[in-house]
Amino acid sequence: MKANVSFNSIQAGIIILLMIFLLPLSLEAQHRGERAGGSRERSAPTKPAKSQTRKTNTSSDSKANVNNKNANVDNSKKNANVDNSKKNVNVDNSKTNVNVDNSKTNVNVNNSKNVNVNVNKSTVVVANPRPYARPPYVYGGHRYYCYHPYAYHPYTPFFWGPVWHPWGFFVATLAATAIIVTVANQQYHYDQGVYYVASTGGYTVVPAPVGATITTLPPGTQTVVINETTNNYYYGGTYYEKKPDGYVVVPPTAGAVVENLPEGGKEVKVGEVTYVKVGETYYQPIVQNGKNMYEVVDVKDGE
């Protein structure tokens, strides 16, 4: 019994000694664990911080990229504007070129100048021997004599058919029926009531030169009564008088009445009266036998 008690006492002493030595170690280990846990808890938030930093950097980078994109977009817009302006400039230049191509109108202007020069030489109005029963219309230092009362109606040019052409009209070639007529050392080409002069690349229609003689009148010629002894023949704005050797181009006679006027005339306002001016000849609109007609006006200076 004594032996057992002593053995148990020894075991109890050993256990106590072990507890004395092991307890501080376990406490120290526990403290180390707590320190390690604390450090882990402290270091854990740093990871989100790093991720936030990355996110921040990412957002700043994306903004930078967006800005770069915007910058690129703006630059592209600038470039697009520059290109558009260039396109607009090209379009305007093309319009300018089109206007330059319209230089054909200058040719018409030049032709009209030549026509006007010829008209001045060939449309002198011949005075009528019959006295005027009506007083003249006076305006602007001129007296306008007519036999018939003024009756306005709009000027409408008349077309005499496909073989007739107005003054200034250009053709490249003439028909085989054309003949040469010489007046005052100037050569003209005549064909079916139309007179031409040679021009660059073809022929240009001009007013009939006074003094030109033809043997046959063109179809559609009308008779115009001048007085008791004289008649004229009228076609396409040209007056003819019968002579022994044919029909001679003459200026219009004051008081002559015709139904149709050719293309190339224009309405001219003289005070309260509107005349039609063809070349240098004034026509007064009248009504005769219920028809719209035109009378050649005798214009004189002075009031």
DSSP class per residue in 235-246: ETTEEEEEETTE
- 193 within 8 A of 164, measured Cβ to Cβ: yes
Cβ atoms 192, 201 nearer than 8 A: no
End position of a domain, from candidates 99, 125, 142: 99
What pLDDT score was predicted for residue 229?
86
- 90 and 37 in a common domain: yes
pLDDT at 192: 96
Identify the pLDDT of residue 35. 53
Provide the domain count of the chain: 2
pLDDT at 77: 43
Residue where a domain terminates, one of 64, 83, 99? 99
> Residue 110 corresponds to which tokens in the numbers above?
């030049």
CA angle 181, 183, 186 (to 5 degrees): 90
Same domain? 256 vs 271: yes
Q: How far apart are CA 298 and CA 119, in angstroms?
A: 17
Regarding whether 124 and 92 lie in a shared domain, the answer is no
Domain check: are 46 and 137 in the same one? no
State the pLDDT at residue 76: 42
Q: What is the SS3 assignment for 263-287? A: CCCEEEEECCEEEEEECCEEEEEEE
The span from the CA of 233 to the CA of 225, in Å, is: 9
- Same-domain pairing of 60 and 20: yes
CA 223 to chain centre: 46
Q: Quick one: pLDDT at residue 227?
A: 86
Alpha carbon 156 to chain centroid distance?
27
Q: Do 78 and 146 reside in the same domain of the chain?
A: no
Is there a single domain that holds both residue 95 and residue 126? no
Give the pTM: 0.61
- Among 248, 234, 249, which residue's Cα sits nearest to residue 294? 234
Tell me: do 92 and 110 sit in the same domain. Answer: no
Same domain, 194 and 268: yes
Task: Tell me the residue range of the domain where 62 lies.
Answer: 2-99
For residue 30, the model assigns a pLDDT of 58
Q: Given 71, 99, 127, which residue is the final one in a domain?
A: 99
Q: For the chain, 303 residues long, give each residue's pLDDT as a single digit of tens.
A: 444 445 566 666 677 766 666 665 655 555 565 554 544 444 444 444 444 444 444 444 444 343 444 434 344 444 434 344 444 434 344 343 433 333 333 333 333 333 333 333 345 799 999 999 999 999 999 999 999 999 999 999 999 999 999 999 999 999 999 999 999 999 999 999 999 999 999 999 999 999 999 999 999 999 999 988 889 999 999 999 999 999 999 999 999 999 999 999 999 999 999 999 999 999 999 999 999 999 999 999 987
The answer to whether residues 152 and 256 belong to one domain is: yes
Closest CA to 149 of 256, 287, 252: 287
Q: Do 92 and 109 belong together in one domain?
A: no
User: Is the domain of 148 the same as that of 49?
Assistant: no
